[in-house]
Chain A
Amino acid sequence: MLKQPADRSNASKPAARGEGSGAKVVGSMTPIAPEKFGFDQARHLLWRAGFGGTSRQIQTLASWGPQRAVEYLLNYDQVQFESVAADRFDKDIMRPASAEERRMAADARRRGDEDTLARIQMERQRRERLDRGQVSEMQKWWLKRMIETPRPLEERMTLFWHGHFATSYRTIENSYHMYLQNQLFRSNATGNFANLLFGIIRDPAMIAYLDNNDSRKGRANENLAREIMELFSLGIGNYTEQDIKEGARALTGYTFEDDAFSFQKNNHDEGSKRILGRTGNFDGDDFVRIILEQPACSRLIARKLYHTFVRELPPLERAEDDELNPAVRTAIRDLAQTLLNAKYELKPMLRRLFLSEHFYSPAFLNEQIKSPVQLVVGAVRSLETPVRDLSILNDALDLMGQNLFYPPSVKGWDGGRSWINTSTLYVRQNIMAFLLTGKRPVGYDPSAETDRYDPMPLLADLLETDSDAARDPSRVADYLLKLTLGRAPAHTREPLLDFLRKHDNQLGPDHLRGLLLIITAMPEYQLC
């Protein structure tokens, strides 16, 4: 059962009021004209549909024009990258006890053999420790993959589904099941939403997380059915409590053995159910099929993708659609219709969004708060800093509130403003200082990091166009600001020029690192 926090009003409230940056939301869902797709738009696309990129990458996308740029990002299966091997992690750490082991334990209990029982418990604890070690290896593995992938949209969408179908290792304590779930998300990242929904009711991690392995005829556990309707597909107000009860009956017997889905016929409720107006002897797959017939389903998915890629929206339970800005409302409806027309294929909807004039509305540019993952991965990818130490980066993600494989609840991460407070802001600034200089954050062995970051290649493009420019402090500052913040207003440029003046306007590696330290600690750097 989803825990209802006492108040979750703050995060998205202001965004609901519309025109955030002062610029008006304009633009329909018609495709953006190629001549309007320049550096700013290509940069926007790369940050929102990926993790940002270098100046060269942005310019390449810009030169391709919107069609080719969007197709390149979408059709990532044509880009070579190492596949995810099923045996990358040990699947046996948390394997259930064998028949033999179970018999031994039962014997010991019967005999009151405390020593054997204690030994069994110690072994269990040893495995739990190993498994926690494995899940932290998995966190680093995923983080590294996000940093290195030439297919950024694949990882962005994998992360999106992880937040949507949120499941936490903290509850299920089985790292391999988290890994399997991660593969389910990746292999369907931009595939068909229906496959994800059918997949999730067969997914061991989700089944364990929402207790469906305890659900059987006569005493159905409603947890999975409830969250499917409330959070994964329809949204509050689009089903009744009775629908949940009947849906839970349909899902009885959907469980797993070892690492695989298993349907236990004898635990399944074979009786007739009435779900969302339909009657029949439904099973879990019928339950999903009936949900997919509801128009609310495509609306919820469209809304959530919009919330993730375009702009924060107030939570569904707090805002009627008609409170939204009309252009925003129209866009979401259009996306939902596209999803429906494509029978839940996700690519047509994403394509329509990323190509639309609406997506590039000036009101949206540089007005989204980066998630901790976007911040860290985006910094490495766009500034080409060394990765330095995945453990430290991973710890920082936790401190910033986005511990991979440990979303805070089945609701996932709220995102947006909820990422930011005085404490996380320092972590965000300090992890950037770590990436740029190797200065270790609080509490770590402070020994100097030897891997020096060379910022000079950042200026390569500037040098190419005009070699004098790379010696002009004001143009260098502008160039770096455009790359990192997407704009270079005077009040951000002045402190940089002040800094350079103190160093006789030299522009060596140390000075560029200094500029980047200042920029990445600007409040504006948290936006993309």
Chain B
Amino acid sequence: MNRDANFYSRRLFLRHGLVLSSAAASIPAFLSGSAEAMVQRMLAAGTTSIPGVPDDHILVVVQLGGGNDGLNTVVPFGMDAYYKARPGIGIQARDVLRLSGADGVGLHPALRSLKEMHDNGLLAIAQGVGYPNPNRSHFKSMDIWQTADLAGTGDGWIGRYIDAECCGFGKGESGKPEDGANSMPGVAIGRTAPLAMTGRSAKPVSFETADLFRWSGEDIHDSLRDPYHAMNRRGESEGVASESNAAFLLRTALDAQVSSETIRAAVRQQPLVTYPGAAVARDLSMVARMIRAGLKTRVYYVNHGGFDTHAGQGGAQGRHAQLLTQWADSIKAFYEDLKKQGNDSRVLTMSFSEFGRRVGQNASQGTDHGTAAPMFLFGPMVKPGLIGDHPSLTDLDQGDLKYKIDFRSVYAGILESWFKADSKPVLEGTFKPTPILKKA
């Protein structure tokens, strides 16, 4: 029952392929029926998790694009220097949401959902995460975070991880045995594929809405659909040698059809909880539905942008507060959804931003590009609470925080303890894994 949906349906196709090619019209119905049925069967089984199997673990990345102001997210209200540096936009101590066991730091008042998750043991915060010689260009610093390379060059770190993990979730059609094949080890929601997910062979499936991960030609006229499906669901063809590029393309085309059906069937389900209205909520609800449908995807990637608050970022209320609320409420809804599915313990969620902001506010009641900032890890398996100390607000490097934890150590923690993978080849270096999970 917990066989890969792709695997299952592909077999059916291969078996029926030749027969059905003469009855092209019946194929789409057959497929969509079977994909739907598979999802239904999975749902009937109640859970898609395979306890105790690390292959079963999923990482969801929620990127905070634009440079999230870490100091107004995890607020060091116990430090005078904080209020001196931010007379206009500092969060008053009385407004800060206090965290038990945390001295002098607490959450922005917009983060009630995060506070609740923290109190329920679902949130860990790594403080002062950054890297040496910080780059303040959005582009460059995002590349650095996404490649885990200080020059910001090379493949994405998640892509390298997927490249390195040959087994279990495989790398699709690239010459791997069919049993382990999965054409969607990484799924990114958005128009373009994030660099982080792009490896040498690993390329994420990416789409803005699942309905668009399909051939757009069939919208042009109904009569195009049948011939299209007839050509793309053959899987194999007489007279085409199985080693040839033509055969490879036929297999990938079938894979694409099945993946597309699987994903679209998955997101046709109603979410189990109500999500807030933000775009990031919509994206996370889509991820939750894909997880619920049992997709064998290991990593999902979602972006929540707009954090480049150079002017008028606000304090306890305002633009930054709004972005924080959207993010926090969406993640809380996401975990409630996963919990109802019985999948919450399979999913680790990580949030980061390319940099924090400068300690001092600027003349426009905003903040400019800075350096170190907190990173967030969600899920029932995280070691809840703060990891490491808050960076000093007086010992600065040209007005910027000095980082405490190298972000690659957090990556190493995710790779080693969550994915049980060797972090060294993936990160191309040795980083002491940050302890992010509860002791087993």
**Mutual binders A and B:** yes
What's the Cα separation between A517 and B217 when bound, in Å?
A: 7
Contact A6 B223 (CB under 8 A): no
With both chains docked as a complex, state the minimum distance between the C-beta of A423 and any C-beta of chain B, in angstroms.
4
Q: Tell whether B100 is near chain A: CB-to-CB under 8 Å.
A: no
B214 CB contacts on chain A under 8 angstroms: 426
Among B149, B173, B399, find the residue whose CB has the most chain A CB atoms closer than 10 A: B173
Check B227 against A496 for contact (C-beta < 8 Å): yes
Q: Once bound together, how far apart are the Cα atoms of A132 and B347, in whole Å? A: 37
Separation of A443 and B279 alpha carbons in the complex (Å) = 14
The distance in angstroms between the C-alpha atoms of A160 and B143, with both chains bound, is 26
A22 contacts B241, C-beta separation under 8 Å? yes
Contact present for A14 and B215 (CB under 8 Å): no
* Cα separation A523 to B368 with both chains bound (whole Å): 49
User: Which residues of B have CB within 8 Å of A123?
Assistant: none
* Closest Cβ neighbor of B156 among chain A residues: A408
Question: How far is B201's CA from A495's CA once the two chains are assembled, in angstroms?
Answer: 33
B217-242 interface code vs A (CB 8 A; 1 in, 0 out)? 10111011011101110100111110
Q: For the complex, give the distance between the alpha carbons of A376 and B134 in Å.
A: 39
State whether the Cβ of A374 lies closer than 8 Å to any Cβ in chain B. no
Once A10-B171, A442-B207 are accepted as A-B contacts, the answer to whether A425 and B253 lie under 8 Å apart by CB is yes
Report yes or no: A15 in contact with B223, Cβ–Cβ below 8 A. no
Q: Which residues from 120 to 142 on chain B have a C-beta closer than 8 Å to any C-beta of chain A?
A: 136-137, 139
**B116 to A: closest C-beta gap in Å:** 34
Main secondary structure on chain B at its contact with chain A?
loop
Task: Determine which residue in A368, A433, A489 has the highest number of CB atoms from chain B within 10 A of its CB, and name it.
Answer: A433
Encoded as 1 (CB less than 8 Å from any B CB) or 0, chain A from 356 to 381 comes to 00000000001111000000000000
Please tell me if A17 contacts chain B, counting CB pairs below 8 Å.
yes
- A503 to B139: give the CA distance in the assembly, Å: 51
Q: Quick check: is A194 within 8 A (CB to CB) of the other chain?
A: no
Contact across chains for A10 and B175 when beta carbons are under 8 A apart: yes
Which residues on B sit within 8 Å (CB–CB) of A409? 153-155, 200
The reply to whether B205 and A422 contact each other, CB–CB distance below 8 Å, is yes
A13 at the interface (CB under 8 A from B): yes
Chain A, 412-435, CB within 8 A of any chain B CB = 414, 416-418, 420-426, 429-430, 432-434
| Contact call B217/A7, Cβ cutoff below 8 A | no
Residues of B within 8 A of A523 (CB): 231-232, 234, 246, 249-250, 252-253
A308–B259 Cα distance when bound, in Å, is: 31
Report yes or no: B174 in contact with A417, Cβ–Cβ below 8 A: yes
A125 to B137, CA, bound (A): 7
Residue of B nearest to A6 (CB): B164
Q: Is the CB of B163 within 8 A of A7?
A: yes
Q: Is the CB of B224 within 8 A of A418?
A: no
How extensive is the interface on chain B, given as a class?
35 or more
Given A8-B201, A426-B213, A514-B221: A421 and B238 interface contact (C-beta under 8 Å): no
- Tell me whether A527 and B245 are in contact (CB under 8 A): yes
How far apart are the CA atoms of A428 and B212 in the complex, in Å?
Answer: 13
Q: Are B226 and A498 in contact (CB under 8 A)?
A: yes
| Contact A369/B249 with A426-B215, A517-B217, A521-B215 known, Cβ cut-off 8 Å | yes
In the bound complex, residues from chain A placing their C-beta under 8 Å from that of B246 are 21, 366-367, 523-524, 527
Q: A5-B200, A420-B252, A433-B217 are in contact. Are A21 and B241 (CB under 8 A)?
A: yes
**Closest Cβ neighbor of A513 among chain B residues:** B220
Hey, which chain B residues are within 8 Å of A6, CB to CB? 160, 163-164, 425-426
Complex partner residue of A514 from B212, B223, B237, B255, CB under 8 angstroms:
B223
B429 to chain A, nearest CB (A): 11
A181 CB–B CB distance under 8 Å? no
A88 within 8 A of B: no
B305 within 8 A of A: no
Is B192 a contact partner of A398 (Cβ separation < 8 A)?
yes
Residue contact A369 to B245, C-beta cutoff 8 Å = yes
Complex Cα gap A238–B351 (Å) = 46
Chain A interface size band reads 35 or more
1/0 contact string of B154-169 vs chain A (CB within 8 Å): 1100001001101000
Interface 1/0 per residue, A1-39 and B, CB below 8 Å: 001011111110111010111100000000000000000
The verdict on A5 contacting B199 (CB below 8 Å), with A15-B245, A21-B241, A368-B245 known, is yes
Cβ-defined contact, A367 with B21, below 8 A: no
A526–B245 alpha-carbon span in the complex (Å): 10
Is there an interface contact between B183 and A421, defined as CB atoms closer than 8 Å? yes
Distance, CA A511 to CA B174, complexed state (A): 36
**Least CB separation from B256: chain A residue:** A422
Closest chain A CB from B38 CB (angstroms): 17
Question: Which residues on the A side are within 8 Å of B245 (C-beta)?
Answer: 15, 20-21, 312, 367-369, 416-417, 527
Q: Does B204 contact A (CB under 8 A)?
A: yes
Contact of A425 among B227, B230, B239, B252 (CB under 8 A): B252
* Docked pose: A524 CA to B244 CA in angstroms: 11
Which of these, A15, A395, A495, contacts B24 with CB under 8 Å?
A: A495
Q: Assuming A6-B160, A425-B256, is B203 touching A14 (CB within 8 A)?
A: no
Q: Are A10 and B253 in contact (CB under 8 A)?
A: no
* B180 CB → nearest A CB, Å: 13
Q: Which residue of B lies closest to A423 (CB)?
A: B205
> Which of B151, B175, B212, B368 is within 8 Å of A442, CB to CB?
B212
Given contacts A128-B137, A429-B215, A437-B220, contact A420 B243 (CB under 8 A): no
Beyond A121-B136, A422-B256, A524-B249, whether A491 also contacts B164 by CB under 8 A is: no
Interchain CB contact (< 8 A) of A422 among B139, B220, B255: B255
A-B contact pairs, 13 of them (CB 8 A): A3-B155, A6-B426, A14-B243, A19-B243, A170-B152, A422-B256, A423-B205, A439-B219, A439-B220, A491-B237, A494-B230, A521-B232, A527-B246
Residue positions of A touching B, CB distance < 8 A: 3, 5-11, 13-15, 17, 19-22, 114, 118, 121, 125, 128, 132, 168, 170-171, 312, 366-369, 395, 398-399, 401, 408-409, 414, 416-418, 420-426, 429-430, 432-434, 437, 439, 441-443, 489, 491-492, 494-496, 498-499, 502-503, 514, 517-518, 521-524, 526-527
Q: Which 4 A-B pairs have the closest CB atoms?
A: A10-B174, A495-B227, A6-B164, A22-B241
Known: A495-B227, A518-B231. 17 other contacts (CB 8 A): A6-B425, A8-B200, A19-B241, A19-B243, A21-B240, A114-B399, A170-B143, A170-B153, A171-B151, A312-B245, A399-B192, A424-B203, A426-B260, A429-B217, A439-B219, A442-B208, A443-B212
